[in-house]
Structures are given as structure tokens and as C-alpha cells.
Structure 1
Amino acid sequence: MFFEGTAIDSVHIPAGTYAVRSRTLPTKNSRSETKKAVQTRQRAWLVEVLEKTQLKPTQLAAGANITSTTLTRMLNNEDYSGTLSPETIERIKGAYKVPGPEEFSRSGRSPLIGFTEAARFDVHREKGELGRIVAAILHGHANMYAWRLKTMALEGVGYLSGDIVFVRMLEEGQSPRPQDAVCAHITDYQHGAAETVWRVFDPPFLVGAANDRTAYKPVLVDGDRVKIAGVIEQSYRPHALSTMR
């Protein structure tokens, strides 16, 4: 249940969600030349950021609140097959005020990273009471981040477009529980693009919980093309949005 108003305790904590599993099984994309191109652009971008900031990879990682191996394995290991997640790129961009790989590459192709379904909530830029409320909720939670939803993909489990959701990022080895509302990174190796989406985890799929057919199609979580980044722990609905519903 959501509570209207602007008090700090006006927080929605989901007790559980439900979604129907589909029989559709998307095929797993193999590593391709396009994926190598994405890696090449990301490596070049990291080198550019390191040169601009005059930092070492471990220092850059610390300032962006990410593990140092996330950067060093890409920079130093030619056999490494992974790519930087949208969340990692966003943290570096936010911490050092630099453009992302999509601006760096200037290839004219589809953006390398997409945040069409939500936007990071910056408590330092958000003025007024809402910014103070979100900052208070985040206080003491080093591994939690706030996002403003721009999708109705989780409407069926109580999250609406405009809600502020608080996401606990998963550490290495951690997994979400079945029926958790999650944010996930989907990489399109064919087009060199990536997107952060908001879905319900119905193992082994991500599924939408809304009437929006674009979010309904299940997506297989394979740990490569599709990775779950974090779990929604709670949310806050701004008063202006509440009065419109």
C-alpha cells in the first residue's frame, strides 16, 4: 500500500509479487564480432577517462563505488569476454562527470547504453523536499540507489511511472528471490546496444507485470546477455503523482 504525503515514513515495501511464466524460450546469443566491438569501444573509453582524470584503475573504481576488478580485468585481460554493465558505466559517468562510451565512439550507431525505463535520481541535483526525503531514505545504505521509474512494466505489482524506487545492488554471488521486482541489464550484441529494464524475476525469466505488451514478453536470464543487477527494496510515490491517480 502507498501512503500519500511527504513524510519520511511514506514508503512502500513490497511483500512479494506474482507473475505468470511463459513457455517461450529465447535463444542465447553467442559471443560475436559485435560484442568484441563493444568491448573495444569500452576499453578505449576507460583509457580516455583514466587519462583525463589522471587516476589509476583502482582509484577510478573506488571513486565510482565499483570493484577494481570490474575495470582491471577488462583493461588487462585480452581474453576477458565480458562488457561493462550499464550500471557501471552510469556510476563512472556520474562520479567523474564524463560522457559515456556512446558519446566517445561517435559511431552514429544506436546508443551503447539506454535508460529509457528509468532515470537515476540524483539527490544533489534534486531541489526541495523530495530530494531531502530520498536522501534520508538512502542514508546508511551504501549499496542502495534511487531511480525514478519511467515505465509501467511493474504496474501489476504496485510500481507506477514516476515512483521513486530504491534498489539494492546485488553483490557477486548473490541472487534475487523468485517474484522479486528487479532491475536488469540486457545487452544487444548484434547492434552494440544495452538497456536497463525493470521486471519481475520468475525463474529463470524476467517478465513484465503490466498491460503493456512491450514489457510482457519473457526474457531468459542467462548471466551473459541478460543479468540481474539489483532488487527493489522499497519505493516512494511523490505527493503530486499520488493525487493524480
Structure 2
Amino acid sequence: MNLSLSDLALNAGLAASTVTRYINDKSGKLSVTERTIEAIAVYSGIPKNVLPGQRRLPGFGESETVKYDARQDGALPDWVNTAIAAHKGNRNGVEPWLMKGWALDQLGILPGDILMIDQNRRPKAGDIVVAQLTDPVTQRTESVMRRFDPPFITTHSSKMGPGRPETVDDDRVVIMGVECGVIRPRQ
């Protein structure tokens, strides 16, 4: 990423010494917390426990997006849950989803953003959608956020580079809902 250790730490929202102290430790006695690893993974776009340059099969691993759970995704300001409730109102089929990956960073959707997804809305060209990808061999599924460019869903990411478009076939690739709002819980 052409960053110094200090810049990497600061851009990930950490103190510079958090990373430099660990990397420069010759004794091997210092450790790094899960929170630190997660912050660097979110900023860099490189999943935890994957070294840069390692490839995994596209689309099947840890989901890029998950339904937002205020109990599990705690530590967010109270105004986030208030904003979610206000946006949802009394509409059925509108649910918050947490973006975990960088697949749509060129469209302004970043890891940690909460997207309100309307499961009753029909997608149109250019919409951001939540889709479920199923591996036909293993039957494993993954939830992803993509841009709908009929008949495909596509990534728009400067961090991940170009991604392979997936054809929406309502079997292996199924659109589950359409974005109808974004909440950014951080500055």
C-alpha cells in the first residue's frame, strides 16, 4: 500500500505506536490484539489471516455483508440505532445490513457502513443490491453487496481491483434486496 507502519496505523484509526512497537519488537514477547488486526484488515481490505498476494476463490469465504445486529455489533453510538429505527419506520421488509468488505468503495460504500435494504423493491440498473451467491459444488452461500448492471452484479472497488461480473440467474446468484439508505456510524 506504499505506507509507513505509522501511516498504516493512523489510517486504520490506531495509535502509531500500536503497530510499530509490535513490528519492531525483537524479543517476540509482545502480541497484537484482535481489535488491532481487525482495524488494519478493515482499512487495508485484506482479510484477517490472509497475507497480501494470497488468493482465495472469488466469492466464497466470509460474507462481505451481514444483517446488522445491534447486540452483536455493539459499541456503536445510540444515534445509529435511532437512525435505523427512523429509516425503517413501519415498512415491512426493510432491514439494516452491515458492509464488511471493499467491493463498492468507488461508489462510496465503505466497510462499517450500514445499508438499509428493501427486500420488496425490484432492482433497476445502477442500484446497489444484496445478493446471495451459492457455490454449485459445495452448496456454500455468501452474502455480497454489488451494483446491479443487468443481467450482472458487479464490484466497483479501487482496493480490490476489477472483479468478475456474476450473472443474476435466480439460482446460483439471487438478489435479496435493494439499498434504500446508508448510515455511516463513524466520521
Same fold at TM > 0.5: yes
In the alignment, structure 1 residue 147 sits paired with structure 2 residue 94? no
- Taking the aligned partners of 1:135 and 1:175, their CA distance within structure 2 comes to 22
* Aligned match for 2:179, one of 227, 232, 238: 232
More strand per residue: 1 or 2? 2
Alignment length (residue pairs): 125
Tell me the residue number matched to 2:108.
158
Q: Which SS does the other structure have where 1:135 is aligned?
A: helix
Q: Under a length normalisation based on structure 1, what TM-score does the superposition of the two structures give?
A: 0.46
Contact kept in structure 1, 2:66 and 2:143, CA below 8 Å: no
Q: Under a length normalisation based on structure 2, what TM-score does the superposition of the two structures give?
A: 0.60
1:99-178 alignment, distance < 5 Å: 116-123=63-70, 126=74, 128-170=78-120, 175-178=122-125
1:140-219 alignment, distance < 5 Å: 140-170=90-120, 175-213=122-160, 216-219=163-166
* Percent pairwise identity: 31
Structure 2, unpaired ranges of 5+ = 1-59
More helix per residue: 1 or 2? 1
Deviations 1:175-215 (A, max 9, x none): 31011110101111201201111100111111101124476
CA RMSD of aligned residues (A): 2.2
Distance 1:124 1:132, change over 3 A: farther
Structure 1, unpaired ranges of 5+ = 1-112
Deviations 1:35-54 (A, max 9, x none): xxxxxxxxxxxxxxxxxxxx
